[in-house]
Structure 1
Amino acid sequence: MPTLVHYPLDPASRLIRLMCAEYGVPLDVEEIKPWLREPHLLDLNPAATLPILVTDDEVPIIGILAAIHAVEDIYTLETIGGLVPNHPLERAEMWRLVEWMLVKFNDEVTRYLFEEKISKRDIPGATPEPSVLRAAKANLSEHMLYFNWLLASRKWLAGEEMTLADFALAAHLSTLDYMGDIDWAKAAETRDWYSRLKSRPAFRTLLNDRVVAMQPSKGYADLDF
C-alpha cells in the first residue's frame, strides 16, 4: 500500500488524496509539518515540500506533478475512467487550469492564507499580518469571479466532463473553506459545482479532517451549505 507524506490542509496533498480516493487506491498517510523542516522530511526531500508519495517498493515520488503522474500511471485501474481527458484539446484545457491552481491561485491566495493562519502558529509570538490577509482575500475574490464565469457555461471546470482540474480547484477551496475564507453567498456557480464534488465518496476523507486547536468553519463538512 502506498504512503502519502502530507499535511491535512496542504492543498497539493489533498489533491493526491482525492485522486487516490476517486480511483479506489488504499493509502496510508503520514502527517508532517513541512515548515518545521524536520530531518526526516529533509532526508526524503531536501526542498521540504509536500506531497511525497512513497510507493509499495518504498520509492519516494516527490512533488505534486510527479505524484499526479504516478497515481495516473501506477495506481489507476484500466477499468476506471481517469481524470485526464483523452482528447488533446480537452487535455490541454485541463492542464491549463491545473497549472492555474497549482501556481497562480496558490501563489496569489492559498499560500499566503495558509502561512498566516497555519504555519505561523508554530512561531512563538507570531500573529497573522492583516495587510497580507487583506491582499490574499482580495485576490481570492478576483479568482472566484473567474471560476463563476467558467462554471456558468460549463458543467465542470474544464468542460463537460469532470477532470483533474476540478479536483485541483476543490483541493484549494476545501483548505480555504476549512479556514473560513470563502464567502459562498457571492459565488453561486462555484458553490453549486463544489456541492456536487463534496457529495462524491472521494471527498469524505477530506471532510473528516480536523486540525488541532482549529475547528473548521461552519458548513465545512455539510453537503448542503
Structure 2
Amino acid sequence: MPSLLHHPLDPASRLIRLMCAEYGVPLDMEEIKPWLRTPELLEVNPAATLPILIDDNDQSVIGLLANIHTIEALYAPSAVAGLMPDDAIVRAEMWRLIEWVISKLNDEVTRYVLEEKIVKRDHRGATPDPAVLRVAKANLNEHMLYFNWLFANRSWLTGDDMTLADFALAAHLSTLDYLGDIDWGKAGETRDWYSRIKSRPAFRTLLNDRVLAMPPHQGYADLDF
C-alpha cells in the first residue's frame, strides 16, 4: 500500500487524497508539519514541502504535480471516466483553473490563512495578525465572485463534467471551511457546487479530519450546511 506524507489542512495533500479516494487507491497516512523542517522530512525532500507519496518500493514522489501525474499514470480507471478530460481544449481549461487555484488562490488567500492560524501555533509567542487575515478575506471575496460567475455558466468548474480542477478548488475551500473563513450564506453558485462535490464518497476522508486542539468550524462535516 502506498503511503502519503501529508498535513490534514494542506490543500495540496488534500487534492492528492481526493484523487486517490476517487480512484479507489488506499493510502497509509503519515501526518507531518512541514514548517518544522525536521531532519527526517528534509532527508526526503530538501524543499520541506508536501505532499510526498511513497510507493511500495520506497520510492518517493515529491510535489503536487509529480504526484498528480504519477497517480493518473498508475491508477486512473480504464472502465469509467477519470479526472483528466480527453478533449485537448477542455483539458487545457482544466489546467488553467488548476493553476489559478494552486498558484493565485493559494498565494493570495490560503497560505496566509494557514500561516496565521496554523503555523504560528508552533511559534512561541506568535499570534495571528488581524491585518493579514483581513487582506486574505478581501482577496477570497474577489475569488469567490469569479467562481460564482463560472458556476453560473457551467455545471462543473471546467464545463459539463467534473475534472481534477474541481478537486483542486474543493481542497482549498475545504481547508478554509475547516478554519471558518467562508461565509457560505454569501457564496451563491459556489455553495451549490460545493454541496455536490462534498457529497461524493471521495470526500468522506476529508470530512473526518481533525486538528489537535482546533475543532472544525460548525457545519464543516455536514452535507446539509
TM-score by length of 2: 0.99
Partner of 1:99: 99
Q: CA offsets per residue over residues 186-221 of structure 1, 9 Å max, x none?
A: 112000000001100000000000000101011000
Q: Distance in 1 between matches of 2:77 and 2:190?
A: 30
1:44 Cα deviation after fit: 0.6
**1:159 alignment partner, SS class:** coil
Deviation at 1:80, TM superposition (A): 3.3
CA distance in 2, matches of 1:217, 1:131: 21
**Structure-2 separation of matches of 1:133 and 1:26:** 36
Aligned twin of 2:155? 155
The letter of the residue matching 2:103 is V
User: Residue type of the partner of 1:107?
Assistant: D
Output the aligned Cα RMSD. 0.6
Match of 1:50 in 2: 50
Output one character per residue of 1:136-165: Cα deviation in whole Å (capped at 9) or x when no partner.
000000000000000001000110000000
Name the CA distance, whole Å, in 2 between partners of 1:80 and 1:51. Answer: 26
- SS, match of residue 29 in structure 2: strand
Q: CA deviation at 1:79?
A: 2.0
SS of residue in 1 equivalent to 2:153 = coil
Matches within 5 A, 1:1-225: 1-225=1-225
The Cα shift of 1:118 comes to 0.2
Q: Say whether the 8 Å CA contact 1:23–1:80 is kept in structure 2.
A: no
- Matched residue of 2:156: which SS? coil
Q: Which TM-score applies when normalising by structure 1?
A: 0.99
For the residue of structure 1 that corresponds to 2:14, the secondary structure is: helix
Report % sequence identity.
73
Task: Give the 3-state SS of the residue equivalent to 1:210 in structure 2.
Answer: coil
Amino acid in the other structure paired with 1:172: H
CA distance in structure 1 between the aligned counterparts of 2:90 and 2:55, rounded to whole angstroms: 30
Question: Using the alignment, how far apart are the partners of 1:80 and 1:176 within structure 2?
Answer: 31
Q: Distance in 1 between matches of 2:195 and 2:131?
A: 31
Q: CA deviation at 1:110?
A: 0.1
Rounded Cα–Cα distance in structure 2 between residues aligned with 1:168 and 1:80: 20
- Structure 1 ranges of 4+ moved more than 2 A: none
For residue 77 of structure 1, report the CA deviation from its aligned partner.
2.8
Question: Which ranges of structure 2 fall in alignment gaps of 5 or more residues?
Answer: none
Amino acid corresponding to residue 171 of structure 1 in structure 2: A
SS in 2 for 1:152: helix
SS at structure 2 position matched to 1:61: strand
Contact 1:156 1:166 in 2 (8 A): yes
Equivalent-residue separation in structure 1 for 2:76 and 2:52 (angstroms): 18
Distance in 2 (alpha carbons) for counterparts of 1:80 and 1:10: 29
Give the match's secondary structure for 1:16: helix
